[in-house]
């Protein structure tokens, strides 16, 4: 465990000093600009539009970061052979992988805190009312990005970087659309399609449930039971995926 934290600490320092952190600054500026322009053009509900755009930019930048960092996390280490320097020390592959993922998730956490903080700040500045649900939405966006990061790592272990990016984007799209797809009349009428959607719902992550932005913007409330259930679903899915990723990495030939 101690060695996992050592790896995560130095992974964070390494990423913090790379250009990734510059992208957070760039995204923060973009968020301010986009939110301001959007609220200026929104007649009637500028505050809501500002929050919508703010959370939207934060979500997109988290996804982008998760996919691109996750898909290069281990391939870069293998290609640049930095991994040999660390795996030759008394640390297991499992601990190394966990340390890398935790280190990178802390970058995602910073991105979430900075951008959601800015989005909330602008929202409050324009006269919006604070609601704790916004914080839940930000937290769930972080969880969603963390899961996506793990998918990107998984794909990078079994294919190349470019394909890992493409597959991760596909997972993201399917994960968001499966829930609504199952409600289509076509899906209900077609037995095979319906069964395929059901299987997809079991195997693929249900990102739709992690997206609380609609609750924040329109209903402004969500039951605690819903939040807990989604969180438990997330933990179970995340654990299962982590086990698969660790097993693949443990048995991978690092030629």
Partner 1 sequence: MIEFKNISKSFQYNFWDKKFKALDNVSFNINEGELVGFLGANGAGKTTLIKILMEFSRQDSGDVIFSRTMGNTPEKIKSSIGYLPEKAYLYQHLTGKEFLEYTGALYGIPKNELKELIAKWTDRMAIGYAIDRRIHGYSKGMQQRLGFISSLIHRPKVLILDEPLSGLDPLGRRDFKNILKELNNEGITIFFSSHIVPDVEEICNKVIFIEKGKLIYEGSIDELVIKNSNDLYSVKYLSGEKIETIQVNEADKREVLTEMLKNGLNIVEIEKEKPRLEEIIYKIKS
By CB under 8 A, name the binding residues for partner 1.
Answer: 2-3, 6-7, 10, 13-15, 17-18, 80-82, 84-92, 253-255
Q: Write down the least CB distance from residue 92 to partner 1, Å.
A: 7
Longest pairwise C-alpha distance within the chain: 62
Sequence-ordered alpha helix ranges (H) in 42-190: 46-79, 82-87, 93-125, 132-158, 161-181, 185-189
Q: Which is nearer to partner 1, 3 or 201 (CB)?
A: 3
By C-beta, is 20 or 169 nearer to partner 1?
20
Closest Cα to residue 171, out of 157, 150, 191? 150
Measured from the CB atom, the residue of 10 and 238 that comes closer to partner 1 is 10
Find all residues with CB under 8 Å of 31, minimum gap 6, and list them: 53, 54, 57, 58, 115, 118, 119
User: Alpha-carbon distance 186 to 181, whole Å?
Assistant: 9
What is the smallest separation between the CB atom of 78 and partner 1, expressed in angstroms? 9
The distance of closest approach from Cβ of residue 121 to partner 1 in the complex, given in angstroms and rounded to an integer, is 30
Residue 102 CB, nearest distance to partner 1 (Å)? 15
Distance of closest approach, residue 40 Cβ to partner 1, in angstroms: 39
For residue 128, the 8-state DSSP code is P
| Alpha carbon distances (Å) from 120 to 32, 114, 133 | 11, 10, 11
> CB-wise, 100 or 176, nearer to partner 1?
100
Q: State the CB neighbour count (10 A cutoff) for residue 89.
A: 10
CB of 11 to partner 1, least distance (A): 9
* Location of structure tokens 């899906």: 187
- Minimum CB distance to partner 1 smaller for 13 or for 37: 13
If we measure between CA atoms, which residue out of 82, 24, 66 comes closest to residue 156? 66
For partner 1, the closer CB: 14 or 64: 14
């Amino acid at each position: 465990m101690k060695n996992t934290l050592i790896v995560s600490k130095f992974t964070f320092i390494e990423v913090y000093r790379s250009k990734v952190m510059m992208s957070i600054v760039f995204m923060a500026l973009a968020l301010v600009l986009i939110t301001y322009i959007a609220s200026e053009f929104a007649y009637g509900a500028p505050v809501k539009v500002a929050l919508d755009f703010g959370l939207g930019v934060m979500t997109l930048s988290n996804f982008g970061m998760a996919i691109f960092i996750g898909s290069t996390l281990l391939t870069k280490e293998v290609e640049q052979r930095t991994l040999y320097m660390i795996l030759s020390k008394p640390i297991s592959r499992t601990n190394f992988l966990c340390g890398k993922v935790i280190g990178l998730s802390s970058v995602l956490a910073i991105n979430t805190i900075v951008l959601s903080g800015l989005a909330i700040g602008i929202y409050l500045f324009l006269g919006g009312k604070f609601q704790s649900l916004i914080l839940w939405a930000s937290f769930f966006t972080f969880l969603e990005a963390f899961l996506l990061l793990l998918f990107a790592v998984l794909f990078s272990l079994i294919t190349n970087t470019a394909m890992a990016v493409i597959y991760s984007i596909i997972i993201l799209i399917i994960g968001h659309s499966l829930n609504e797809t199952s409600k289509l009349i076509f899906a209900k009428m077609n037995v095979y399609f319906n069964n395929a959607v059901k299987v997809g719902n079991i195997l693929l992550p249900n990102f739709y449930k992690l997206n609380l932005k609609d609750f924040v913007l329109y209903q402004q409330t969500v039951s605690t039971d819903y939040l807990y259930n989604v969180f438990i679903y997330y933990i179970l899915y995340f654990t299962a995926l982590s086990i698969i990723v660790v097993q693949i990495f443990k048995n991978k030939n690092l030629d």
